Amino acid sequence: MEHMSNIISIGHPQMCMQPGHVVGMGRTEDRIRQNDPTLTELFVGSFNGNLHLRGGQNFGLCVPSDGASFARLGNSIGENTSLVTVCFGGNLALGDDATREFAKGLQRNSSIRKVRLSRCNLSEGAGCELLKAFEKNSSNLKEISLVRCDFGNGGFRTLTSTLSKCTGLARISLHFSEISDELMGIFIGAIRKHHHLETLDLSSSNVGSTGCEALATLLKDTNSSLCVMALDRNNIDNNGAIFLANALIGNTTLEELHLDGNHNITSVGWDAFSQVLCNTSSINDTYVSNHILQSLEEFVSGAVPKELAHSLDLNCSSNDRKEIATKKVLLYHHHFDMAPFFEWGLKVLPLAVSWLDRARGFHSNNKANIDVKILSSIYQFAKAMPMQFVPVTRRARAIAYQKR
C-alpha cells in the first residue's frame, strides 16, 4: 500500500533543496502553462530542512516565494488539462488574497483526480482553502489523502464538509490523524453515501473500539463497495475486533482488513474472525460463511493464528465463492447427516450425490474421501426408507402379501 508519508520524497533525481531556496518554480510553472502532457503530478509546498527528490518527468515541484507567484500558479493550474495529482505540503503563509486566487484555479481545473495534503492546517490558510476548492469542484475527484494534518479549530469540519460533497471518491486516506470517537461519528456520517469508495485507510489514527463500532456500519451497508480497510497501528482491542468481524457476516466486497500493530487483539478477537470465515456449527453455516476476506495483515507478522490464516488462504484459492464454500464444507464436515432431508424422500439424494460428484474437481487429492461421503449418503437414505430401494414389482408383491 502507498503511504502518504513519502509524498515529499518524490521528484527529479538527485535534487536537493535547502531552506528558503526555490527549486524549479519557473520551469515547472512553464510546463503547467504549456499543458505539458508528461507533467501529471505536482507538489506545491514549503519545507524546513533538506528535501531529497527522486522521480521522473511526470513530476513537478513548485515552492512559491511570494503571493504573486502563488496566485499565478493557481491560474495556470486552472487552465491545465494534464495534471492528475496535486500534493500540498506545509503551511504556506503567502496572504489570504493569494491563497484564494490559487484556490480559484483549482476550482476551474477539470483534470485533477487525486489530492494529497501533508502537515497542513485545515482550519485556515492554504490547506483549508484547497479542501474548500474541491468541495466546489468535486465531480472529478477520486482520491483524498492526508498525512499529519491539523484538524483543530474547525479543521475536521472543513474536511468532512468537503468529503460529503465528493461522493465519487474511490479512496480516502487519513494517516497519523487523531480521530476521537466523536470525530469518527462525524466522519462516518460524511462518507456514508460514498458507494464508489473502494479503499479507506485510517492507519495510525488512534482508532479504538468505539471507532470500530462506527466503521462496522459501513461494512454492513449492502451498497458498500469497500474492498480494502486499513486500520493498522491503531488502538483496537478485542471488542473492536469483534465489532469488525461481526460486520463481515453477509459482506460481499471487503477483501483486505489490515489490523497489523494492534497489539491488544488477542485470541478472543481473532476467534471472532475465525467464526465468521468458517462457522462449523452446521454444513449450512459453513457454506454461508464469509468467503470474501483474504487478508487481515498488510505484512505477514505471525499475529494471525494458524487456523484463521488457513481460512484466509482458502478464500484466496479461487475466484469462485461456491468452490471455496464447498472446500470448507468438505474439510470441516467429515460426516454428512442426511436425516433433515428424509421428509423429501429420494428427491434430495440425486442432488446430494451430484453436488459431491462436482466437488471432486475441487479436491483432486481427496477423491476417496468424497466417494466415502457419497456412499454414506446413499446408505443413510437406504437405512431410513428401505422400501424405496426395492424394485417396484417386488414392492407390490410385498404389499399384497401383507394384506392377506
Q: What is the pLDDT along the chain (404 residues), one digit of tens a residue?
A: 443 333 332 223 233 333 333 344 568 899 999 999 999 999 998 655 444 444 577 889 888 888 999 999 999 999 999 999 999 887 777 888 999 999 999 999 999 999 999 988 888 878 888 899 988 888 889 999 999 998 888 889 999 999 999 999 999 999 998 888 888 999 999 999 999 999 999 999 999 999 999 999 999 999 999 999 999 999 999 999 999 999 999 999 999 999 999 999 999 999 999 999 999 998 889 989 999 999 999 877 788 999 999 999 999 999 999 889 888 887 887 766 667 666 666 666 676 667 666 666 666 555 556 666 666 666 565 666 665 555 645 545 555 555 55
3 state SS of 88: strand
DSSP 180-227: -HHHHHHHHHHHTT-TT--EEE-TTS---HHHHHHHHHHHH-TT----
User: How distant, in Å, are the alpha carbons of 93, 124, 150, 186, 211 from that of 154?
Assistant: 19, 9, 10, 12, 20
Residues 255, 315: Cα–Cα separation, whole Å: 9
Q: Is residue 174 within 8 Å of 146, Cβ to Cβ?
A: yes
Rg of the chain (C-alpha set) = 30
Residues 184, 40: Cα–Cα separation, whole Å: 33
Structure letter (DSSP) for residue 10: -
